[in-house]
Structure 1
Amino acid sequence: MHMSNDHLLTLSIHVYRYNLLELVDHFHERGLYRSIFLSIMEGEESLKRFSPAITIQDPSIKQSIPLLPPIYLFHGTADYSIPSAASERFAEALKKAGANAELILYDGKTHTDLFLQDPLRGGKDDLFDHIVDVIHSKDKDAVTKGKVPPPRRRFVPEILLKLARKISPF
């Protein structure tokens, strides 16, 4: 399938660096202590440089923001590594800056469910199906033919996936 420029999209899956300044306290409470985090990030000033939500507010790039392809943010509401509110705030910041952004929240999904446990589970995979729908949305042949992703097989017994969810630090 050929994708022209108007078919391009940006997928942001579990990107957590929206605004690191807002997440320092969250990380600290989760055990990544402020002093260690700031040391890793080379100080608080660098957090601004690595935070897209802050970068898009830079007046020198304002005219470039509307030129970005559509941006899709996918986030689980049960993500305790990075709160889904971070994606909500980033989506709003993108829209306010003039970007075409859409946030898709997955109720009850954790940080790793969408890209690890769900694909291993097999069967219906909401994130995968959503991505395929977005990619094919402007492909007249795919829409007309009703292309559906093939069924996915299970790779791991459910008990192991539930155990992994209980012990995962994410």
Structure 2
Amino acid sequence: MASRTITEVRRATSRPRAEGAGRLTTGIQRHDSLGDLEQKTLSPRERADRVAKEVALVARLSVKLWSHLGLGWRWNVAAWQLILYATFLMPGMIQVVFYYFFSRSVTRSIIYGREPRNRLDLYKPSSREHGRPWPVVVFVTGGAWTIGYKAWGALLGKRLSEHGILVACLDYRNFPQGNAVDMMEDVCTGVDWVLRHIDRHGGDPENVYLCGQSAGGHLLALALLAQAEHKATGHCSLLRGQTWDPTRARGFIGVSGAYSLDVLKEHLHRRGLYRSLFESIMSLDGKPALVELSPTYCARKLGLKMCGMLPEILLLHGKNDKSVPYFSSCSFSEALNSGGVKCECRLYEGKSHTDPLVDDPLKGGRDSLMEAIVEMVLKRKVRKWQTPMIPGCLASAAAAVCPF
């Protein structure tokens, strides 16, 4: 870890609005209704200006994040592994990038809130069955709370939209632009936007499912439990964003999620997400709050108050996950079931942290994550053999160097 102290790292999280809010809203008219924000039509020059400002903001925050991480050997090794991993997967990822930027099915960067990076992408099916609105999946990507980005969900959005499901991928502030409470605030605001406005885009607001992967699974699970606590008791100290009825969600799918932060702290420290940095991300009112921000702890605290407050829950985890061990999902599942919540935990032999979201769809064959989501949303099993997007030798090489 670099010589930065915990105090210095926390100081970076105390100014998220000052650093990003003004820049990202330049040229965008303010409205009382967030639903009206997306209606402003931008000229090509305005679009280019917005993209340039967002790229500059991300670049500046990346430099700041790197200064917090330092040049420890773990990060250097992981960086080279990641470069090799991305290189082997490049032929498939180029296809995904082309789809993301040029497909008419993708609507990018709809504004859902007033904070920096409050944007979402929509992946729309090509047709509508009997004129009915599409079922909706709200997806929150991972990224170790530091490098998450909405476009990471492009491959999943593409696959699910092919089955008649409308997908909304949320972006949210990352550290050091904000801490975990800020991120959860963004997630709550994004879900609220979907529930109130998705009908304008052909989605069914009464048929919405929530899905999060890794850090996104943590944030979405925490948001869902915070909304349940607010509904059950009328108060939740973690809630600082929009409130919505958690029973309006038809289901929650958590993929490789980090649910027991206090237990994971030492494991993540050994993996390179250093203890002091992790405590700064998981802070509440300036103090480390790993227990209070753990969904497993929140579920145990609520106990039987959760009964009837939460939708059905499905947790998916690979047994070869090096980033977040699968016991995280097992413990969370036990806490939910003990509180009367219907929860199933599926463990996959030989699967890594990224297999369900990236590797499986690219190498072809069975896509376990897509099948699980379709089964929950459409209430029918899907066993579709996917066409490979990369040669098998590249898929094997990527798996061998995968840092996750």
More moved, 43-52 vs 119-128 = 43-52
SS of equivalent to 1:10: strand
Q: Point out where structure 2 has 5 or more consecutive residues left out of the alignment.
A: 1-131, 136-205, 208-246
Q: Which residue of 2 aligns with 1:160?
A: 394
Q: Which residue of 1 aligns with 2:359?
A: 117
2:323 to 75, 81, 84: 81
Q: Which residue of 2 aligns with 1:25?
A: 266
1:101 to 315, 327, 343: 343
Tell me, yes or no, if the aligned pair for 1:79 and 1:109 is still in contact at 8 Å: yes
Question: If the length of structure 2 is used for normalisation, what is the TM-score?
Answer: 0.36
Tell me, yes or no, if the aligned pair for 1:11 and 1:72 is still in contact at 8 Å: yes
Distance 1:63 1:90 in 2: 16
Q: Point out where structure 1 has 5 or more consecutive residues left out of the alignment.
A: 138-142
State whether structure 2 residue 290 is matched by structure 1 residue 47. Answer: yes
**Which of the pair is proportionally richer in strand?**
2
2:373 to 127, 131, 140: 131
Distance 1:65 1:53 in 2: 15
Q: How far off is 1:62 after superposition?
A: 4.5
Q: Measured at CA, do residues 65 and 46 of structure 1 come closer, stay the same or move farther in structure 2, by a change above 3 Å?
A: farther
Q: How far off is 1:121 after superposition?
A: 1.2
SS of equivalent to 1:91: helix
SS of equivalent to 2:341: coil
Tell me, yes or no, if the aligned pair for 1:56 and 1:62 is still in contact at 8 Å: no
Distance 1:130 1:38 in 2: 33
Distance 2:262 2:287 in 1: 8
Once the two structures are superposed, residues 5-36 of structure 1 have per-residue CA deviations (whole angstroms, 9 ceiling, x without a partner) of: 799211111221x1100100111222222123
Q: How far off is 1:159 after superposition?
A: 1.8
| Identity value in percent | 37
Q: Which of structures 1 and 2 has the bigger CA Rg?
A: 2
